Amino acid sequence: MATETITGSGVTTPFRYSGGTSTFAFTGDFASGNVSIEASFDGESGTFIPMKDASGNTVLIASNEFHNIFIGHCHMRFNATTAVNVDVTIH
């Protein structure tokens, strides 16, 4: 289990994700904003791509919720639209 803390707005520092299926639980103060999940497959300073739903819309987390994510080895980061204070627990 790992925890990433999102404070403020903008993007977080990328972290290495080993891949596979994990549950990402988002809890905290969303301050009327939202958080998106982004992944890069070409390194920590590569091109980050937002996670999208089945309809092609970027997944925006705006309240306490969890997502089961299946993705290969990559670098991940979170992008917050306002001054949020959110913990992301990865199981």
Residue position matching structure tokens 């998106």: 36
Q: What are the pLDDT digits (tens) for 52-91?
A: 999 999 999 999 999 999 999 999 999 999 888 999 999 9
Closest CA relative to residue 49, chosen from 41, 33, 38: 38
Q: What are the pLDDT digits (tens) for 16-51?
A: 999 999 999 999 999 999 999 999 999 999 999 999
Handedness of CA 69, 90, 79, 84 (dihedral sign): positive
The residue type found at 49 is I
Domain coverage including residue 47: 2-90
Tokens standing for residue 3: 């925890």
Domain count, the chain: 1
CATH code where residue 80 lies: 2.60.120
Does the pTM exceed 0.85?
yes
